[in-house]
Amino acid sequence: MGVFYVKSHDMIASIIYWHMSPEITKLFGVFPLTYYGLLFAGGIGLAYYVMARIYKQEDIPNEHFERLTLYVLLGTVIGARLGHFLFYQPSYFWTNPIEVFLPIEKINGSYAFVGYRGLASHGGTIGIIIAVLLYCRKTNQHFLWVADRLAIVGPVTGAFIRIGNFMNSEMIGKPTGGDYGIVFQLVDTVPRHPGQLYEACAYLLIFVTMLILYRRNTKPDGFIFGIFLILLFSARFGLEFFKEDQVAFEHGMAFNMGQWLSVPFVLAGLALAFYKNGQKILSTTMK
């Protein structure tokens, strides 16, 4: 459990000691039920609820929404898993391909169910984009129209996932260098920035921003999706400075892998939100 401990007498500097087991219990004595898994499912559930309301309000057939849900779920998991191994552990991908797609891991010579360990958000985003392209081809819906609406709910799922990372004491922040911060006791005894919570808060703010944009937006399709890419991946780029490197090859790099992977998404967002929409507005005005 998390314990709050005030280190200074003036009640300003403080350290939170965090010691939380990632596992809640084992279902049937075999399958681990984790906080991360529950929060991941909760984030998806909330996204599903919001998207269902949007599709209903816009009179889109329910079968389209159910199909989109399936496509996005598959795109998320497959993309996030492939992204993690290709971006961060490429050698592991070739030596243990079965563990990429199945929630198992070889322990002491035999496979055990461990859940999915290692999901890359950049890979998940790419997987979702590919899945939505396939979905739109099947249903004849406009890609940017769908992307604008998915951009509303994407950040809230991301926020729940980062809270799950916090519960797991993973993706930890860098040392604060002072008498404040969070000590992840499953890792070490150093006060650190709660980088996962910084990111979760940023994503929740982006979620609120996306909702406001959706309700007030009068620009062509693609604008909301573009703003989403700019805000979310700019936040990811900046907050990486507060987080420890995830893999050894990032040590000594000016920017880590997460930051480098964020740059193309920000550029794509700028093109969608400003260049593409600016061109449309200009061409419409001149007609």
- Domain boundary assignment for the chain: 1-20+175-192, 21-168+194-286
Q: Give pLDDT tens digits for 83-102.
A: 888 888 777 767 777 777 77
**Burial (CB count within 10 angstroms: exposed 0-12, middle 13-18, buried 19+), residue 274:** middle
Task: Indicate if the pLDDT at residue 281 is higher than 50.
Answer: no
Whether the per-residue pLDDT at 3 is higher than 70: the answer is no
- Going by C-beta distance under 8 Å and a sequence separation of 6 or more, which residues neighbour residue 33? 23, 24, 25, 26, 27
Going 194 to 186 to 91 to 159, the CA torsion angle's sign is negative
List, for residues 222-239, the tens digit of each pLDDT value: 999 999 999 999 999 999
DSSP 17: E
The answer, yes or no, to whether residue 189 has pLDDT greater than 60, is yes
Pick the more confident residue, 1 or 79: 79
Is there a contact between 193 and 173 (Cβ–Cβ < 8 Å)?
Answer: yes
Write down the pLDDT at residue 88. 82
Q: Which 3 state secondary structure label does DSSP give 18?
A: strand
Paired sense of beta strands 104-107 and 31-34, if any: unpaired
| For residue 280, pLDDT beyond 90 | no
- pTM for the full predicted model: 0.86
Convert the pLDDT of each residue in 199-212 to its tens digit: 999 999 999 999 99
Beta bridge partners of 25: 33
How many whole angstroms separate alpha carbon 182 and alpha carbon 14?
9
5 band by pLDDT with thresholds 50, 70 and 90 = low
Specify the pLDDT at position 246. 81
Q: Is 236 annotated as a binding residue?
A: no
